[in-house]
Structure 1
Amino acid sequence: MRQRAGAAPGLVWLGGFKSDMQGSKAQALDAWAGEHGRACTRFDYSGHGESSGAFRDGTIGRWLDESLAVFTSQCEGPQILIGSSMGGWMALLLARALRQCEDSRASLAGMVLIAPAADFTEALMWQRFPKDVKKQIEETGEWQRPSAYGDGPYPITRALIEEGRNHLLLDGLIQTGCPVRILQGVQDPDVPWQHAQALVTRLAHDDVVMTLIKDGDHRLSRPQDIARMLQAVADIA
């Protein structure tokens, strides 16, 4: 974990699937926090980056528990969640979990979601997988998914898919209780912009703004994309 002391509202980075806290967006966020005197918290889920554990043992519920533990034990006062891809789903799940948490010293001031992959294990993986891939996962427990980002194939496990069904959000209204800003690339091959649009229709809070970036990809890590992320954070802060 990396934590920077500073004023509220603080910033909490929630990374994506197979991403880590040393990525360009996370580091830019930390640098912005330093320049503006804001608190900033970054961490890696188990099986990611500098954290222990095997990636194949991870599930949405396990990573959510880790996120909740960091938020409630390490953060204090109002916080802005910045969630990228799977981290967007984590941010929404964390908001729901916090409504049932009575001992948190921290609260939500807002969210910035970057290509939010809500329900991705079901909507963007399982429902899209061909029959032979589904069969392999069901019979052997995992499938080695090729990576488009040059880091080799990685396991998609039956546990990830099945446990993920306990955390689906897009079948009902989502109450965050805070402003939400969404940045979504139209050229994103992993999280289609229509998926982000469907999420907007489920957000019950009035203060929700989605920005479509016509030439944006999934990572949204170009300088102009990072500038948009930081501006969204600044607007809420």
Structure 2
Amino acid sequence: MTGPSYLTTPQGRRIAYHKTEGHGPGVVFLGGFKSDMEGTKALHLEDWARAAGRAFLRFDYSGHGQSSGAFEDGCIGDWAADAMAVIAELTEAPQILVGSSMGGWISLLVCRDMPERVAGLVTIAAAPDFTEDSMWAGFDDAQRAALSRDGRVELPSEYSDEPYVITQRLIEDGRDRLVLRDALPLPFPVRFLQGTADEDVEMSVALRLLDHAQGPDMRLTLVDGADHRFSDSDCLGLIVQSIGEVTARVGGA
């Protein structure tokens, strides 16, 4: 496989990406927290898009994967700006966004801030507002004190031997990017996907998002027994099926 191409954002960050040419509406995959564009879902969708002749784009946020910067220096606002720069510079016409976990939150920020570039939305275990409702709300007094004193706190990760380093900037910036407190119009086809065995994002988050967002064509699908990775063959098939539903609704290929 050839190496990635790079886009330099207006903020000077160097974003790695892989772009597949094809017909529209194009599909953009937005990955999760400390994830990268080499994951199972991103590569499966790229293979599907190539076989279907669809335009497809996957990328790494700054501080993730092959993009520039350190993960600990980033925050939701930075990563949302990366996504918007990639969409603005590397795609044409409205796109179908596929956001996984944190990528669900990022995709909702894209929908809010540049709706003219969004044709439809598919989220997978979307985690809107998780820095506030999961991280900060779950910190004990000692962790909150450490965050205030040291500007950072370490949390264990079941996906890596390295802990998650959560910074005060991540928490404070996240408070400026919350999407479940104010109106959230989604005036295009939307499919929310959520596993019932997800231990990172509870079903209540998906139900809250469905109840809070406003749109003419929104559906939530719960998959019994699916975990946060949402990457077995059935789940991958459901993601592709959901993209197909959204595509049909917007009159695409």
TM score, norm. by length of structure 2: 0.89
Equivalent residue number for residue 212 of structure 2: 202
Equivalent residue number for residue 20 of structure 1: 36
Q: Secondary structure of the residue that 1:224 maps to in structure 2? A: helix
Equivalent position amino acid for 1:77 in 2: A
Equivalent residue number for residue 64 of structure 1: 80
- 1:3 correspondence with 2:13: no
Equivalent position amino acid for 1:58 in 2: G
- 1:128 correspondence with 2:138: yes
Equivalent position amino acid for 1:179 in 2: P
Q: CA deviation at 1:133?
A: 1.1
Query: Does the 8 Å CA contact 2:187/2:216 hold for their aligned counterparts?
Result: no
Equivalent residue number for residue 12 of structure 2: none
Q: 1: distance between equivalents of 2:130 and 2:20?
A: 31
Q: 1: distance between equivalents of 2:28 and 2:120?
A: 10
**CA displacement 1:122-172 (0-9 Å, x = unmatched):** 011101111111111111010111101134212100000001100111112
Equivalent residue number for residue 102 of structure 1: none
Identity of aligned residues (%): 45
Q: 2: distance between equivalents of 1:52 and 1:154?
A: 18
Q: Which runs of 5+ in 1 are unaligned?
A: 100-105
Equivalent position amino acid for 2:50 in 1: G
Q: CA deviation at 1:92?
A: 0.5
Q: 1: distance between equivalents of 2:157 and 2:47?
A: 29
Equivalent residue number for residue 174 of structure 1: 184
Equivalent position amino acid for 2:76 in 1: I
Q: Which runs of 5+ in 2 are unaligned?
A: 1-16, 248-253
TM score, norm. by length of structure 1: 0.95
Write out aligned runs for 1:133-144 (5 A): 133-144=143-154
Q: 2: distance between equivalents of 1:128 and 1:154?
A: 14
**CA displacement 1:90-137 (0-9 Å, x = unmatched):** 0100011114xxxxxx72111110000000100111011111111111
2:242 to 224, 228, 232: 232
Q: 2: distance between equivalents of 1:234 and 1:190?
A: 27
- 1:150 correspondence with 2:160: yes
What is the aligned length?
A: 231
- 1:52 correspondence with 2:68: yes
Q: 2: distance between equivalents of 1:206 and 1:124?
A: 29
Equivalent residue number for residue 111 of structure 1: 121
Q: Where do 4+ consecutive residues of structure 1 move more than 3 Å?
A: none
2:171 to 142, 161, 166: 161
1:32 to 48, 62, 66: 48
183-192 or 169-178: which moved more? Answer: 169-178
**CA displacement 1:163-197 (0-9 Å, x = unmatched):** 11001111122112211101101111111000110
**CA displacement 1:188-216 (0-9 Å, x = unmatched):** 11110001100001111021110111201
Equivalent position amino acid for 2:183 in 1: L
Q: 1: distance between equivalents of 2:86 and 2:117?
A: 13
Q: 1: distance between equivalents of 2:89 and 2:216?
A: 30
Q: Secondary structure of the residue that 1:77 maps to in structure 2? A: coil
Equivalent residue number for residue 92 of structure 1: 108
Q: 1: distance between equivalents of 2:60 and 2:157?
A: 20
Equivalent residue number for residue 99 of structure 2: 83
**CA displacement 1:62-114 (0-9 Å, x = unmatched):** 11111110001110023100000000000100011114xxxxxx721111100
